[in-house]
Amino acid sequence: MSVAFRREGDDEHLEPKFEIPLPPGPNLVTARGLALIEAKVAELEAALPGVTEEAQVTAARRELRYWRTRLATARLMDRPDGSCVAFGCRVSLTMSGKQQTITIVDDDEASPQSGLLAFSAPLCRAIMDAEVGERVPFGGKADAIEILAIDLPERWAGQQMVEDRGVSEKLVMIDPGAAFKDNLQQLPAVDGVSRIDLLDPDGVTVSSIENQPGKQGSLAVYQYLKQAFKTLDAEAAEHGLLVFAEHTADARNRPGAHPNIDRLLAIAAGGTPLAIEVIAGDS
């Protein structure tokens, strides 16, 4: 029904006319945060033509206005150097005797239950610019927080590592042979990689592969899969199984003996895809 013909009393049944509140302060974003905003705008724009109920149309347009505003005002931040706590860093710290790890992100990307805190959060403001080993006050207590480590999630570090090697971020895929040793020689080196974190769709780290003897082969394969496929989905997993060559057959015969191959088998069989984050470090 046209708004022009709506009775005066109908207004009380309409959706509230206020806009979705915008977070205060500058709209700083990581590369991942910007991609999430762009995806949300595209999703809402695609869904809007199929919405027919007037109240739902009003709500959908209101949400779309919010995300278009966030996209228009987004300010993509430069990669931090990791020398001190900054926007986009992953920080390990102790507070009140408890150790925790957080990643400082934008307001829309924030998910406290997954360790992703908005840069505007009190804890993030308190530790900003602090260096490893430094103690900072918080909640009215002196030296309440100690900074244990600062590193760069793949959203920054992986990009820098690729640039340093002088290769395209989209790696040319190899043609795996029958021997893992031969395949491994075709993969990029893992110098400068501290570890690889695997994250579920909620952003929770479900497993890590450290740069340690006995794990460097898996580290190289997973780094390669990240560069070639971006996401560890069924296609990437199937290719990874070919790269592992004879070890894949052994993993099928001995479940649990090769956990990093078991994971690929599960995803190739329809398991939940995982995000791959390459963490830089001195190794």
Per-residue pLDDT of 174-221, as tens digits, reads 888 899 999 998 888 888 788 999 998 878 889 999 999 899 999 999
Q: Where residue 250 falls among pLDDT bands split at 50, 70, 90?
A: very high
Among candidates 79, 84, 80, which has minimal Cα distance to 149? 84
Helix (H, G, I), strand (E, B) or coil at 153: coil
DSSP 111: B
- The most confident of the ranges 2-16, 134-148, 200-214 is 134-148
Who's near 137: CB < 8 A, 6+ residues apart? 126, 143, 144, 145
Q: How crowded is residue 35: how many other Cβ atoms within 10 Å of its Cβ?
A: 13
Among candidates 76, 92, 30, 32, which has minimal Cα distance to 281? 92
* Angle subtended at Cα 151 by Cα 147 and Cα 153, rounded to the nearest 5 degrees: 135
Longest CA span, the chain: 77
* Region of poorest pLDDT, from 37-41, 93-97, 156-160: 156-160
pLDDT(170) > 70: no
DSSP 139: T
pLDDT(82) > 70: yes
Distance, CA of 211 to CA of 193 (rounded, Å): 7
Quote the pLDDT of residue 123.
95
Distance, CA of 189 to CA of 177 (rounded, Å): 19
pLDDT(277) > 80: yes
The mean pLDDT of the chain is 83
0.85 exceeded by the pTM? no
Q: Selecting from 3.10.20.30, 3.30.1330.10, 3.10.50.30, 3.30.70.330, what CATH number does the domain 90-151 have?
A: 3.10.50.30
Give the residues across from 232 on adjacent strands: 274
Q: Where residue 161 falls among pLDDT bands split at 50, 70, 90?
A: very low
Please give the average per-residue pLDDT across 8-25, as a whole number. Answer: 63
What are the Cα distances from residue 261, in Å, to 10, 208, 217, 271, 275?
61, 13, 11, 13, 16
Domains of the chain, by residue range, sit at: 3-76, 90-151, 157-280
